[in-house]
């Protein structure tokens, strides 16, 4: 069943181009119109939504954090993202105008289920984004958009995450479409760029050997930090989570702008720091800020592992290790930037002698609160 791969995780990483293509299939037409009638959210609900709340756990929560940037930017609706385990204990403000999006690969995560039950009791409309047909979360939701990642066996989520992102982008664009937001050049570009993502992922996967080599060379380290800004921040959190789960290393993700508010004190001689660099095109302010963050940490001895767009010459001089990813619009960058982090964690875990498909203390679906 591993089809010649050493682990399910490696197989599932390799399946990501197909998983993304399958999740897009039939959901956008050639003119860029979103075709999501299957979701069965009544049009009046879409029009009358005044707030979006995303609830999820673990990696699915990171997908939600990224979705917030897309939803707010494309729909102009306020969007909150909350860990499902925290959500219902804080008396959240929910009503008929709230669209709650519950993201779950398994569809059985108890915290997410309890959060959506609470939301429905308060009158909110719940849309599930789920990878498992007929599981409890979609059954108990008002509507569902399935991700078509196929079965994910490894405990660490990889292809489910990428397809959750795709589903979130589709929902965001669809909400924008229904609410009459102007589909300007940017949205048209995003829709056609989404179609190119499977090809971009193939290219990323072909260039992973240096990432594997780097991972092996870091097997003796205790700590790895991850930094990002904007959508790169949740990607940093996801990179750190993968490393914790698989390599059992101390790994933390930070918003790069927070460095000077504390984390920079952790920077020490030789400490590996992975930095997600936004595209130098578009929002170049973000790019310039992160280049100066890289200079700051490098001046303090960090060993910088820089994930940047191909041809980004401004950042290259400050990268001890440069990992290049294809040019895609900023909001979509997590799709291509996450893959090297998955490969990195998987290889590092293997180099440390860990079982990657079944990390200690973890279960694939967490059906207790
Ligand atoms: O099945 P779910 O998407 O609801 O699971 C949520 C988390 O338990 C899950 O993403 C977990 O964090 C993974 N082990 C991450 O790799």
Q: Does the beta carbon of 366 lie inside 6 Å of ligand 1? A: yes
Question: Which of 54, 81, 83, 109 is the pocket-test mutation for ligand 1 (most atoms within 8 Å of CB)?
Answer: 109
Q: Which residue(s) pair with 84 in the sheet?
A: none
> Residue 184: which pLDDT band, with cuts at 50, 70 and 90?
low
Q: Please report the ipTM that was assigned to this predicted complex.
A: 0.99
According to DSSP, residue 30 is labeled T
Q: Mean pLDDT across the stretch 60-71? A: 98
> Residue 296: which pLDDT band, with cuts at 50, 70 and 90?
very high
According to DSSP, residue 105 is labeled S
Does 68 qualify as catalytic in the annotation?
no
Global pTM? 0.97
> How far apart are alpha carbons 90 and 92 in whole angstroms?
6
Task: Inform me whether the pLDDT recorded for 183 exceeds 70.
Answer: no
What's the 54 CA to ligand 1 centre distance in angstroms? Answer: 15
Q: Mean pLDDT across the stretch 118-139? A: 97
> Residue 363: which pLDDT band, with cuts at 50, 70 and 90?
confident
Tell me the pLDDT tens digit for each residue of 16-65.
999 999 999 999 987 888 899 889 888 888 889 999 999 999 999 999 99
What's the 243 CA to ligand 1 centre distance in angstroms? Answer: 14
Q: CA 8, 14, 18, 21 torsion: positive or negative?
A: positive
> How far apart are alpha carbons 291 and 286 in whole angstroms?
9
Q: Mean pLDDT across the stretch 171-182? A: 85
According to DSSP, residue 353 is labeled T
Q: Comparing 93-102, 143-152, 177-186, 296-305, which segment has the lowest mean pLDDT?
A: 177-186
C-alpha distances (whole Å) from 214 to each of 153, 286, 348, 349 are 26, 27, 9, 12
The closest residue, in CA terms, to atom 8 on ligand 1 is 58
What HEC string does 260-286 produce?
Answer: HHCHHHHCCCCCEEEEECCCCCCCHHH
| 3-state SS assignment for residue 83 | strand
pLDDT at 44: 87
Tell me the pLDDT tens digit for each residue of 312-362.
999 999 999 999 999 999 999 999 999 999 999 999 999 999 999 998 899
Q: Does the beta carbon of 147 lie inside 6 Å of ligand 1? A: no
The closest residue, in CA terms, to atom 16 on ligand 1 is 156
Residue % of the chain over a pLDDT of 70: 98
What's the 327 CA to ligand 1 centre distance in angstroms? Answer: 28
Task: Inform me whether the pLDDT recorded for 112 exceeds 70.
Answer: yes
Task: Inform me whether the pLDDT recorded for 98 exceeds 90.
Answer: yes
Q: Does the beta carbon of 342 lie inside 6 Å of ligand 1? A: no
Task: Inform me whether the pLDDT recorded for 182 exceeds 80.
Answer: no
> How far apart are alpha carbons 56 and 342 in whole angstroms?
20
> Residue 111: which pLDDT band, with cuts at 50, 70 and 90?
very high
Q: Does the beta carbon of 238 lie inside 6 Å of ligand 1? A: no
């Amino acid at each position: 069943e591993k089809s010649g791969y050493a682990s399910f995780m490696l197989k599932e990483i390799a399946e990501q181009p197909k998983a993304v293509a399958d999740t897009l299939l039939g959901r956008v037409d050639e003119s860029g119109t979103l075709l999501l009638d299957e979701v069965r959210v009544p049009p009046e609900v879409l029009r009358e939504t005044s707030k979006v709340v995303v609830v999820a756990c673990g990696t699915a929560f990171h997908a939600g954090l990224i979705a917030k940037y897309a939803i707010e930017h494309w729909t102009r609706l306020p969007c909150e993202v909350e860990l499902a385990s925290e959500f219902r204990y804080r008396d959240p403000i929910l009503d008929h105008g709230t669209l709650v999006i519950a993201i779950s690969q398994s569809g059985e995560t108890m915290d997410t289920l309890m959060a959506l039950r609470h939301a429905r009791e308060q009158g909110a409309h719940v849309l599930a984004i789920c990878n498992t047909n007929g599981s409890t979360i979609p059954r108990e939701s008002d509507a569902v958009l399935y991700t078509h990642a196929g079965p994910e066996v490894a405990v660490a989520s990889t292809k489910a995450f990428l397809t959750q992102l795709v589903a979130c982008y589709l929902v965001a664009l669809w909400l924008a479409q229904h609410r009459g937001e102007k589909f300007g050049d940017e949205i048209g570009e995003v829709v056609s760029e989404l179609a190119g993502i499977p090809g971009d992922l193939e290219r990323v996967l072909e260039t992973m050997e240096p990432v594997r080599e780097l991972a092996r060379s870091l097997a003796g380290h205790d700590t790895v930090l991850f930094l990002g800004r904007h959508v790169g921040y949740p990607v940093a959190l996801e990179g750190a989570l993968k490393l914790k789960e698989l390599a059992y290393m101390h790994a933390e993700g930070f918003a790069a702008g927070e460095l000077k508010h504390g984390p920079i004190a952790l920077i020490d001689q030789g400490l590996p720091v992975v930095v997600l660099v936004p595209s130098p095109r578009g929002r170049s302010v973000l790019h310039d800020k992160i280049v100066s963050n890289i200079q700051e940490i490098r001046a303090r001895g960090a060993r910088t592992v820089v994930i940047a767009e191909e041809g980004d010459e401004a950042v290259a001089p400050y990268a001890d290790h440069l990992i290049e990813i294809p040019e895609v619009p900023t909001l979509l960058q997590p799709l291509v930037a996450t893959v090297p982090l998955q490969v990195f964690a998987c290889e590092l875990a293997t180099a440390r002698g860990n079982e990657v498909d079944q990390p200690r203390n973890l279960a694939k679906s967490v059906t207790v609160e």
